[in-house]
Amino acid sequence: MTKLIRAQWLGRVPYADAHALQERLMDARIRGEIDDTLLFLEHPPVITLGRAADHGHIVSRRDHLASLGVEIAETGRGGDVTYHAPGQLVAYPIFDLKPDRCDVRRYVRDLANTMIAMLRESGIEAGRIDGDAKYIGVWVDLDSPQKWREIDASEMAATSRRLAKIGAIGVKISRWVTMHGFALNVTTDLSGFNHIVPCGIEKFGVTSMQAVQGGAEKHLSPRDLVPSACTHFAKIFDAEITQSNAP
């Protein structure tokens, strides 16, 4: 039977508020009180640390970050250090993966493939780098953003390709119900990533749809991508998606 997912655009939400909302929805989903839920939003500037984060990957002084209005938040997701800011489409699925999708790697791959399909729709070819958890996310080749050639994590140290991460993924799963999700850089001010070593990767940078397309996407907002996101979530997760008001 086709799954039902309720999608909601929440606007710009402080990280702590969004995290608390996710926890409430996760608990309700575990108890079977709500359907699968898909939250779309933006965050004000915030650096988040996953369970395995190296605090040394925050390279700016904390008092300097505070003066810039950049918060720091500990999270329960996987992964290292990442950065959220306006211009980034954040998707938080609260999905019950039971009975037939209880596979963490498959779930992470499905999130990546959702972003890849969204980017392709906008004329950007992107892909995954498999073989090492630190490369989880979606990547583009800055020298050929209209063509993606597969590359394995074992090749990353020696490659001369100008690869950059355009979409980050970090998840938490409890009793096979998910929270956290992905962040796709649309028009994000990339200078904010200078405060961190994104995901602990020093060799390769971070990019956005706007940067890849030479500013062509400057009038595109994260909210504009929600219909595309819903379309591809529905295909990849074999679901029917309806949009509703915020909880």
Q: What DSSP assignment string belongs to the chain? A: --EEEEEEEEEE--HHHHHHHHHHHHHHHHTT-S-EEEEEEE-SSEEEE-TT--GGGB-S-HHHHHHTT-EEEE-SSSSSEEEE-TTEEEEEEE-B-TTT---HHHHHHHHHHHHHHHHHHTT---B---S-GGG-SEEEETT-TT------GGGTTT--S-EEEEEEEEEEEETTEEEEEEEEESS--GGGGGGB-GGG--SSEE--HHHHTTTTTTT--GGGGHHHHHHHHHHHTTEEEEE----
Active-site pick, 164, 190, 199, 234: 199
Active site residue 230: no
**What residues are annotated to the active site?**
199
